[in-house]
């Protein structure tokens, strides 16, 4: 049976550039670099963001952007610092979408390959409680 999330893989044109972005904005730590050779379909790097295994694999960027995204949990106290890190990274920093009070705040940015990421201060329990109170 399912035990949890194993890893997330992002196909990117420039693995090194994306690894630097993830380190700068998401505190990612590199744990593996295949170099030009490797065991997979293409060169890859493995990163850890907290305990989450992220795989970056060499390939073509997404052709278009969408709202499909990965959201990382951040503490409310870190919101402004995270916003500053995203702004300094030189990526497309999106304005937060309107939210109802009590469901947390979010920061959105696209990486260089059209993947959308969210940094969110809320939890599922907070959101469900807020929706139930409406």
Say whether 62-134 and 1-60 share the same fold. Answer: yes
pLDDT tens figures, 25-39: 999 999 999 987 778
Q: List residues with catalytic annotation.
A: 44
- In the chain, where the domains are located: 1-60, 62-134
d(CA 19, CA 15): 6
Choices 3.90.1170.50, 3.10.180.10, 3.50.50.60, 3.40.630.30: CATH for 1-60? 3.10.180.10
d(CA 82, CA 25): 7
pLDDT tens figures, 40-69: 889 999 999 999 999 999 999 999 999 999
d(CA 91, CA 5): 27
Global pTM value: 0.90
Render the chain in DSSP notation, one character per residue.
---S--EEEEEES-HHHHHHHHHHHH--EEEEE-TT--SSSS-EEEEEETTEEEEEEESPPPSS--S-EEEEE--GGGHHHHHHHHHHHTSEEEPPPP--TTS--EEEEE-TTS-EEEEE---HHHHHHHHHH-
Architecture of domain 62-134: Roll (3.10)
pLDDT tens figures, 76-111: 999 999 999 999 999 999 887 777 787 889 999 999
- Contact, 56 vs 16, CB < 8 A? no
């Amino acid at each position: 049976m399912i035990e949890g999330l194993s890893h997330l893989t992002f196909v990117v044109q420039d693995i090194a550039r994306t690894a630097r972005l993830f380190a700068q904005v998401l505190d990612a730590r590199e744990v593996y670099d295949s170099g030009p050779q490797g065991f997979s379909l293409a060169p890859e790097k493995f990163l850890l963001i907290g305990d989450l295994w992220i795989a970056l694999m060499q390939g073509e960027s997404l052709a278009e952007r969408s709202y499909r995204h990965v959201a990382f949990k951040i503490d409310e106290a870190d919101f402004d610092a995270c916003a500053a890190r995203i702004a300094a990274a030189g990526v497309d920093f999106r304005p937060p979408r309107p939210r109802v009070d009590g469901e947390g705040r979010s920061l959105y940015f696209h990486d260089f390959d059209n993947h959308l990421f969210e940094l969110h201060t809320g939890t599922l329990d907070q959101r469900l409680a807020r929706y139930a109170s409406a």
